[in-house]
Structure 1
Amino acid sequence: MKFGKLAAFVALTACGGLAQAAPDPAKVHEILNKNACLACHAVDKKLVGPAYQDVAAKHKGDADAAAVLTKHVREGSSGVWGPIPMPPNPNISDADLKMVVEWVLEGAPQ
């Protein structure tokens, strides 16, 4: 009986370590401002580019979404959301880009 409780405790503890806190929206907005992302995108409405919440909806459940979005930001893209191309943003740091992509894929919470 004790072994069963110990095994359950170890399994739950290990799984709890895998959970990550959601990116802080205020920190993400600093990154978006610093990298001029908000010149073309908004959280909840289309500007030149799609709303971040629309991007989240389009990629919901897509296992490759993080890699795709990272590539689009880093290298730019064309024809994904219409005729206006997204210019590349090679200067955003890897850590900042990872945080922004995670935030978008979580639905771009405000």
Structure 2
Amino acid sequence: MISAQNYEIVPNEKVCMVNDRFMGVSQIPIDVNGTIYYGCCENCVEKLQKNLDDVRFGSNPLNDTKVDKASAIIVQDKSSGSVFYFASIVDAQSFINKNKG
């Protein structure tokens, strides 16, 4: 049974945006033309700078729209550590409410 307690909005700097995981500690800030992304290691730096596999963008699970991870509202699934990206706080809150169980 999933409860709202399983999902929470987390700070962007504590997410590895390559692995799409909540890491719990601040990650390496990676500047791409003035926009800051976060990664956990040197491999992430290169992937984000070159946008390999379109890694700078996530997909909003509510409507499958593309979201820039740098400006996203990020929601963590606390049971798995994986994260979801939303363009707005409204979408993030809708997702949390929808998944209360």
Q: Which has the larger radius of gyration?
A: 1
Question: Structure 1-normalised TM-score?
Answer: 0.23
Q: Which structure carries more helix by proportion? A: 1
